[in-house]
Amino acid sequence: MLPTKPAFALNAATPSVARKLSADSPTIIRKAKGGGLAQAIRVGLRFKMDELQRDLMEERWDLLVPYPNQLRSYVYIFTTYTDAAFPSDSTSDKDLRVTLRYEVGRYYGSLGRLKKAIDKQALDEAFIAYADMSLHFDKYLHAGGLYTYYDVDVNNNDVINFEINNISNNNNNNNNKKVAPADNALVYSDPNKDPAEVRDLVVLTRGPDKGKCGILIGIYPPTEKAENTCVVKLDEYRGMREILVVPKSWAAKRLGEQAPDAVFSIPRKGEIKV
């Protein structure tokens, strides 16, 4: 069935289409820093953040109360990893230590706001606090050498432009009749007429990360200097889920049947996911 609201489509025949790369713009796969401290941050804390997202988006206030104390236990791990991974007196190591400590400070400042939001069950405030935590944690992973890859001039524009133009031409050639997208197409709403909200699955339709998919985890209010922006947690790629802040008009809500975000498949202790 066609969506009733304005929609577009993006070919998603293969998992790699959202990261289609030209021969001149490869994804560089690098060996991330290892060791027990690195694993505790990259794997252990990331998993805890995913569990937090699941419980927050399902509004399980009873389960959210312990998270602030659990996450504070990682302060020592952050501090020890920062000093151990970049121990020298070189300018680069000194600068990295300052950067990493800054991101940790911002992470825990956001955690404090999350605790206050949980105490009064203020959902919108909790979403923004969680989005801020996710953003600063992701910046720490990037700066701390904990990402497993980085992209070099990734360009997905050709993929999306082909699909949008193709559907537009089909509609024009059929006297503006609606044309059903292919079975393997991502269908999404017009972000200006039917904007995405927190918890919606989205596809980025503009910008350097055009074509990538994820879930919207926070919306920032507009300011005098900037339009509405939102925080998107991208789908997993090589074991990582990057966090992006983009204009809200760039994140289009995906429509139709689709699998829920991966965090909702994480079973709770004592529960069995069917």
Domains of the chain: 7-21+166-256 (2.30.30.30), 31-147 (1.20.120.290)
Q: Give the helix ranges, DSSP H, for the chain.
A: 36-39, 46-57, 61-64, 67-72, 75-85, 91-119, 123-143, 157-173
Question: Which pLDDT does position 32 carry in this prediction?
Answer: 55
How far is C-alpha 84 from the chain's CA centre?
28
The Cα 96–Cα 236 span in angstroms is 26
Question: Which pLDDT does position 34 carry in this prediction?
Answer: 57
pLDDT tens column, 173-209? 444 444 444 445 678 999 999 999 999 999 999 999 9
Average pLDDT rounded to a whole number, residues 116-137:
98
Instruction: Please say whether the dihedral angle defined by the alpha carbons of residues 141, 144, 148 and 149, taken in this order, is positive or negative.
Output: positive
**Higher confidence at residue 28 or residue 38?**
38
pLDDT tens column, 212-223? 999 999 999 888
By mean pLDDT, which of 134-138, 171-175, 237-241 is the weakest?
Answer: 171-175
Closest CA to 208 of 182, 235, 245, 262: 245
The Cα 11–Cα 196 span in angstroms is 20
Average pLDDT, the chain: 81
pLDDT band at 35 (very low <50, low <70, confident <90, very high): confident
**Higher confidence at residue 274 or residue 72?**
72
pLDDT tens column, 224-237? 777 899 999 999 99
